Amino acid sequence: MADINERTHEEAADPRAPPEEAVRQAIELLFFAYRDFTAEPDAILERYGFGRAHHRVVHFVGRHPQMTVGELLDILRITKQSLNRVLGQLVRRGFIIQHRGAQDRRQRLLELTASGRELEQLLSAPQRARVGAAYGKAGAPAVEGFRKVLLGIIADAEDRRRFEPARPRRR
């Protein structure tokens, strides 16, 4: 078994690199955290006959009212067919409504209905509580460090830009 202080060739080249075991443990922690982060919403979704794809759609449409189907496809990176199946179910059940774009009538703008907002709140409440409690225990410097780690994991630069602080406009 490798000693936790042993460093790979790549790590030796960069003394700032964390030990291999720390990286492996972080991967495991992400798996366990995601399992527990999704457990309560999964139980709620099951009562509706929905899955995690429904949750993601409800989440992002709730966070970005009037987003287009194309924007949602870009975020979720699923096939149009998969999105249409999930979106169709949410529309038929009255959780999401679609509007035509004012400038481009081919656009479909998505918005949660009152029932959709209730579902979003129901799904996100346990997650907000879990993350809020963890943030409270960790403290502001750890929260900022965690944010930097998550941003570093996100591969797409455009996705990372979504989370940059708003810059003041020059006059």
pLDDT in tens, 91-142: 999 999 999 877 777 788 999 999 999 999 999 999 999 999 999 999 999 9
pLDDT band at 167 (very low <50, low <70, confident <90, very high): low
Pairing of β 96-100 and β 108-112: antiparallel
Would 96 be classed as within a structural domain? yes
DSSP E strands: which ranges in 22-73? 67-68
Q: Is residue 28 part of a domain?
A: yes
| pLDDT recorded at residue 15 | 74
Please classify residue 124 by burial: count the beta carbons closer than 10 Å to its beta carbon, then call 0-12 exposed, 13-18 middle and 19+ buried: middle
Q: What is the domain range of residue 93?
A: 17-146
pLDDT digits (tens, 9 = 90+) for 3-56: 545 545 554 567 787 899 999 999 999 999 999 999 999 999 999 999 999 999
Q: What CATH code is carried by the domain that includes residue 57? A: 1.10.10.10
User: What is the model's pLDDT at position 28?
Assistant: 96
Query: How far, CA to CA in Å, does 74 sit from each of 12, 45, 111, 131?
Result: 38, 23, 17, 26
Say if 168 falls within a structural domain: no
Res 6: pLDDT: 54
Residue 82 has pLDDT above 80, yes or no: yes
Q: For the chain, how many structural domains are there in total?
A: 1
Is residue 49 domain-resident? Answer: yes
Average pLDDT value for residue range 79-86? 95
Distance CA 41, CA 47 (A): 10
Residue 51 placed within a domain: yes
**Closest CA relative to residue 116, chosen from 52, 44, 39, 57:** 57
In a domain? residue 160: no
In a domain, 163, yes or no: no
Q: Is residue 113 assigned to a domain? A: yes
Residue 5 or residue 83, greater confidence: 83
Per-residue pLDDT, 107? 83
